[in-house]
Structure 1
């Protein structure tokens, strides 16, 4: 392009910011196109099953809806199925009630939360949730009051100055909501309304996504196109659905962006290999997977193919991981920045049908979330199936769970973690475990702290590792010679070296040495569910130079009563009791500490005070070699526990 023409182009575009971006896209697209094809081809080589044609949109379904549904007839079929199926009737009734309650809600406003430099995330998420519920309510009832409420929020958000692209989660979740609103209610809108919605999608979302993919804008909190975390799933999902929604009207831009989405989302999906687990924990699994599945489902309904995304290694197994992370009380093994939401996800219905895994649908039907996507993906013919194994080990994330029964609500349940301290949303928690019995969480993970704590995500300076809930001392693991520095090596990565499951007993053993070196020559932890009636946690520590202070910690919300010799602790939660007993070493005893930083540690301000939580503790001095063995039993269990070296397990 000649210099004079370029100058004229820029001058003509200076009227508005969005026109500049549109012109930049038109100029650069031609240059980027062939480069993009190279990267798409390269991605196909790297990601195996992902294959892209030259023209992605050649098979586009040009009708609406096309996101997760193939046509308006799918809504009509759903209404018929609701009259025939009790589960669908129940879910639809709850959703209509939710929609009615939203009619009086205030229209969304541009308000940045004081978190991580300012976020619009809750506003975007409000739009996303409302649009799903209200659009479905309109489709089920035909009552225009629901569509009118959708329009109020979409119109308000379309007039926002931006969708906070610096924190691109905000933009992508808004895009997702706008895409569903545009597509599912397409013929409801007037031409002018469609123009407003589409223009907001382009100017505030898709052009920003283009800039992110092409490197024109890199001042984001997270480099989301190349992220291997839930960010990629959420951002790719929002961009992908929005591009599919308007692809017939903006084919050049959308063809490019859909290609980029398909090229980049495998960065996260590949992390699920080989067994389907994520090192971000089940909470972020649920969060990211809802957007990942919505994208794949929409590619299939809009283009007739997902370009091999659903065949990426580990993805067909990932819902099994989610189920296995749930205890018999329904609570998750809540490692990393997780939360205690029950193990339930509408996407289990999709996985059940996609991979012929009816067990997943049976579980979700018993634990419904009353979510719009349950109406989309529930199929009564895919309910049933055999239970998962009692015991499950997931490579990659290096987590394992073991239980005495799936059906008994009072069963033993243990979650055990290795993995990497560099994981997204990860903690210094190698060796951590949780334990349930009689429906109570006795050994607990305290989960995340408030995200707006200063430096909460600052790994470079290490401020993240000053907070109690991020540190080893805030978990159920070992701490050695605590001080002002992180109490595990921040780049440590460990595997569960041995995992054996049998009818009578299950155990896992992991070498934690590189989490604590050079303080020790060896630190190995084993956890066993013995005879399905007691749990043994055993640590073997060997140090050339004595470890001045060696701590064994267990966080619990139970009240604790110690025996006279302090080698037995009786835990009580809601009239249920559990016995915890030291078997080794002979000189060890329990003490009870508050769940707050040790006196030697940094004392951060504003962190959660962990009210109601105590820390059952063993403190050993000047340790060269020791075996710490602690057994968990029912209060009335007086059987002996045989302690043998971990190498003989």
Structure 2
């Protein structure tokens, strides 16, 4: 019991820091009308006529199974993934049965999400191994796990993400065993899906839960669970199944609309991996059960988001970690991209490098690895698509990414963004950027910090008014990002910075209009990023002050060591060097502010963190107009 509790705690620590009940309460609602809508013919009559009668029918069906078994005999990548699943299954077998009784942890949030995720992981490992090999011992363990989960008092509907992941897991366990679990277990599982999964999604007061029509991962996760549960109980209760599925498919439009127009997921790379993982499993379940995904895969920007998933991972293997994202990628991204590979035939989306390793080297897999194996096995190469070296993603939180040409031996990577603080998981980071070269991240984003610790301290992380607590944190306000600040004030929380110009080619450039970010502080502001060589980036700000403007501060966040020199600074880290050239105001010396330790005890403490500042008095600008121009170049 001690070992399983420790394992569950670890899972909780790794995953719970990124989702919050209070975060969800602040999700924006999508009020825009969209010309593209999912098909939604779901009714009792439609289910009875069109739902596949035989099992499996969730992610798998007879045709998909045939291809999977062929690839298990002929395709090394599929074989390696299955061996990794078997290796992970051995770890599951060494655990105690799933339990709701886990010790409280001061870093976690008070919910059951870690338990639900751990159970989904167990089902994917055990369920896929049993499906392929029909080992009765695996079936017995899966039966015991399902029974243990079904006798939980609740699946914690007050934090419905917990219910969504648990419902999906139970539905997959029933489906992949195709009636081979004991009849009593099947009966209990379906009763539990209704009583602890679906019915709590229909409140007695008649109100629609906010996640149904929300715009980010809560929508995607919870609706996926409800669709899976509805398919699992459709024969027993077609009326409940039909009305639940119809509501969920309609609701998915609101989350999928956030991918338009280019696939830039508004809440960053980690949440893209999480939310998209559940949208692709939804598409796969609908397609295997009905022969159509009702338009999910063709939603504007959705397939294009695969490039977003690839491009937000830098050569250093660190994420472009804006929007409450951690530095390191999550496990589930690999298999999410496998689904895109199966749909496009583009081998860029298959992670050969990781999955051709030994099971021991691969290590722990995503909790949807069973489904990921199926998607990988469906892949038929149609060529290697073009991954752009200069890419822009517009939408609610626009960004641009420049990478190196060809093999990118210099490890060039630049990411810059617009957006606004008031978006879900947003920060006051409009105009900010990160920059990597030679394996070193020179300009950093401070990234995310533990939601649980802040919540337990009574800190209001999720309200986003101009003076709210969130903006006191260095990871959230503009003073912790490589942008500009005016008169030492915060950015305007609702001011949306947009892309107004973009050019690709060997010297790509992108311009953001930052004027709304500084409403009342400046008359106008734009920021232009130009990759002027394979080893450098130019940041050029055009500023027009108003009569109240006194000081403009140009900022760069770094963990490098810094030596101030005439006309700029020299940064060193890991034996590498980067020059900061103050092109517009070489007569003004830079300043260095140490942020280790960070200003507040509740701030994320980042080793050797510094802010380089170029502080320019407004009176220097003739006619209230001026330019700030800085170049970063590696040696």
For 1:284, the equivalent position in structure 2 comes to: 271
Whole-Å separation in 2 of the counterparts to 1:164 and 1:336: 27
For 1:373, the equivalent position in structure 2 comes to: 371
Please say if 1:185 is aligned against 2:177: yes
For 2:5, the equivalent position in structure 1 comes to: none
The gaps in structure 2 that reach 5 residues or longer are 1-30, 356-361
For 1:63, the equivalent position in structure 2 comes to: 54
CA spacing shift, 1:537–1:137, aligned 2, 3 Å: same
1:191-270 correspondence runs (5 A): 191-211=183-203, 216=206, 223-270=210-257
Please say if 1:575 is aligned against 2:575: yes
Aligned residues of 1:328 and 1:409 also touching (Cα < 8 A):
no
Aligned residues of 2:270 and 2:329 also touching (Cα < 8 A):
no
Give a deviation string over 1:385-426, Cα, whole Å, max 9, x none. 143221111121321111222522423211110123222111
1:75-86 correspondence runs (5 A): 75=65, 77-86=67-76
The alpha-carbon deviation at position 66 of structure 1 amounts to 0.6
Please say if 1:496 is aligned against 2:486: no
The alpha-carbon deviation at position 623 of structure 1 amounts to 4.8
For 1:469, the equivalent position in structure 2 comes to: 475
Aligned residues of 1:594 and 1:613 also touching (Cα < 8 A):
yes
Aligned residues of 2:116 and 2:165 also touching (Cα < 8 A):
yes
Aligned residues of 2:42 and 2:245 also touching (Cα < 8 A):
no
For 2:15, the equivalent position in structure 1 comes to: none
Whole-Å separation in 2 of the counterparts to 1:588 and 1:267: 49
Q: Secondary structure at the match of 1:286?
A: helix
Whole-Å separation in 2 of the counterparts to 1:115 and 1:574: 31
The alpha-carbon deviation at position 510 of structure 1 amounts to 1.3
For 2:381, the equivalent position in structure 1 comes to: 382
CA spacing shift, 1:184–1:114, aligned 2, 3 Å: farther
Please say if 1:614 is aligned against 2:610: yes
Aligned residues of 1:359 and 1:385 also touching (Cα < 8 A):
yes
1:150-189 correspondence runs (5 A): 150-189=142-181
For 1:11, the equivalent position in structure 2 comes to: none
For 2:25, the equivalent position in structure 1 comes to: none
For 1:455, the equivalent position in structure 2 comes to: 460
For 1:131, the equivalent position in structure 2 comes to: 123
Q: Secondary structure at the match of 1:310?
A: coil
The gaps in structure 1 that reach 5 residues or longer are 1-41, 636-649
The alpha-carbon deviation at position 551 of structure 1 amounts to 2.1
The alpha-carbon deviation at position 325 of structure 1 amounts to 2.3
CA spacing shift, 1:43–1:82, aligned 2, 3 Å: farther
Whole-Å separation in 2 of the counterparts to 1:278 and 1:513: 23
Whole-Å separation in 1 of the counterparts to 2:627 and 2:597: 25
CA spacing shift, 1:156–1:612, aligned 2, 3 Å: farther
Please say if 1:395 is aligned against 2:394: yes
For 1:536, the equivalent position in structure 2 comes to: 538
For 1:315, the equivalent position in structure 2 comes to: 302
Q: Secondary structure at the match of 1:187?
A: coil
- Aligned partner of 2:95 among 102, 105, 120: 105
CA spacing shift, 1:53–1:458, aligned 2, 3 Å: closer
Report how many residues are paired.
576
Aligned residues of 2:512 and 2:527 also touching (Cα < 8 A):
yes
- Aligned partner of 1:521 among 516, 520, 523: 523
RMSD: 2.6
Give a deviation string over 1:216-235, Cα, whole Å, max 9, x none. 357x7xx2012111111111
Aligned residues of 2:345 and 2:380 also touching (Cα < 8 A):
no
The alpha-carbon deviation at position 373 of structure 1 amounts to 3.1
For 1:20, the equivalent position in structure 2 comes to: none
Q: Secondary structure at the match of 1:420?
A: coil
- TM-score normalised by length of structure 1: 0.83
Larger RCO of the pair (alpha carbons < 8 Å, separation 6+)? 2
Structure 1 ranges of 4+ moved more than 6 A: 42-45, 112-117
Give a deviation string over 1:461-505, Cα, whole Å, max 9, x none. 71212211011111111112225xxx11111112111111123x1
The alpha-carbon deviation at position 267 of structure 1 amounts to 0.3
- TM-score normalised by length of structure 2: 0.85
CA spacing shift, 1:481–1:597, aligned 2, 3 Å: farther
Q: Secondary structure at the match of 2:202?
A: helix
Please say if 1:632 is aligned against 2:624: no
